[in-house]
Amino acid sequence: MRHLDLGEADRLLWLLTPQRGVLRATARGARKPGSKLGGHIDLLCYVKLSIREGRDLHGVSQADTVDAFRGMRTDIGRVSRGLYMAELAQQVSVEDAPAPAVFRLLVNGLGWMATTESPDALIRWYVLRLLTITGFMPEFGSCAECGNVLEPGDHVFSAERGGLVCPACRSQGSDVLHPASLGTIKVLRHLARSDYPAVAALSVGEEERRQIERILRAHASTVLDRGVRSSAFLDEIRDWPEAGPVPGGLHRGS
């Protein structure tokens, strides 16, 4: 999930494991070119590890790659999204607490990120699913304030209140409200109840896409109580065109 250089040639790793949640472990000599560990313990790799338990830090004694998601690693747009997914997974996990559902979601998510035609749809689905399996699914069926079933109308989303708010309740409180059109609400409900392959081909309009992203980000940062550092890089790369010159880049005559 994350690593830091340690000593001469060692590496300190933050690992996400199904059995023990986040584990910190050192990989001795992993930065040397001939290391048996180095190639297996890069970021965003699904790896089988043998861990030697230590008092403060554990040690990695063996590593074997299960899936390095090569299709993701060669595309900077997919890498930026994969890092965002991993950081979110790390933020909802804690040390020494089992996290099998988060682990499985991240492995499946990175696998799809390596091949999907619609990486942004995957991110939207992943964030919502991660919030759901960790018990923070926003309320999309009824008003988060009064509990009444939502009828078509001028609804808004409140991250502080944890879901959609009906027109009658929207003026209560001083929280930030995000617009949520009927189309946005339909897409959010569909994302919440479907598996990824079923939503991969879902066509979402530009306005709905913007609303959904604002809603999911607001909800995630409220739940996590901190920002997601990799989102800045994701935003920068996402604004780039598929091909050709990019903002701030060089071109003939510049």
Partner 1 sequence: MNSNTTPSAAPPVARLIEAFNRLPGVGPKSAQRLTYFMIRMPREEAEALAEALLSVKDRIVLCSICLNITESPECSVCTNARRDRTRICVVEEPLDVLAIERTRAYAGLYHVLHGSISPVNGIGADQLKIRELLDRLRDESVTELILATNPNLEGEATSMYLQRLISPLGIKITRLARGLSSGADLEYADEMTLANALEGRSEIVIDREASAG
Residues found near partner 1 in the complex (CB under 8 A): 1-2, 5-8, 10, 33-34, 36, 39-40, 42-44, 63, 65, 68, 70, 73-76, 79-80, 83-84, 86-87, 229-230, 232-234, 236, 240, 244-246, 248-252, 254
Written as one letter, the residue type at 112 is W
Beta bridge partners of 3: 13
| Shortest Å, Cβ 86 to partner 1 | 7
Token output for 8? 């001469």
Shortest CB 26 distance to partner 1, Å: 10
Nearer CB in complex with partner 1: 86/156? 86
Q: Which is nearer to partner 1, 69 or 196 (CB)?
A: 69
Smallest separation, CB 196 to partner 1 (Å): 23
> Whose CA is closest to 141, among 205, 190, 174?
190
Structure tokens at 126: 């992943």
| Between 90 and 211, CB nearer to partner 1 | 90
Q: Are strands 21-27 and 163-165 parallel, antiparallel or unpaired?
A: unpaired
Cβ nearer to partner 1, comparing 130 with 234: 234
Residue whose CB is less far from partner 1, 75 or 175? 75
CA distance 5 to 187: 43
Please measure the distance between the N-terminal and C-terminal CA atoms of the chain and give it in whole angstroms.
Answer: 38
List own/partner pairs for 144-148 with CB under 8 A and 24 or more apart.
145/169, 145/172, 145/173
Edge-first strand listing for the sheet containing 177-179: 163-165, 156-158, 177-179
- Residue 79 CB, nearest distance to partner 1 (Å)? 5
What is the smallest separation between the CB atom of 137 and partner 1, expressed in angstroms?
A: 25
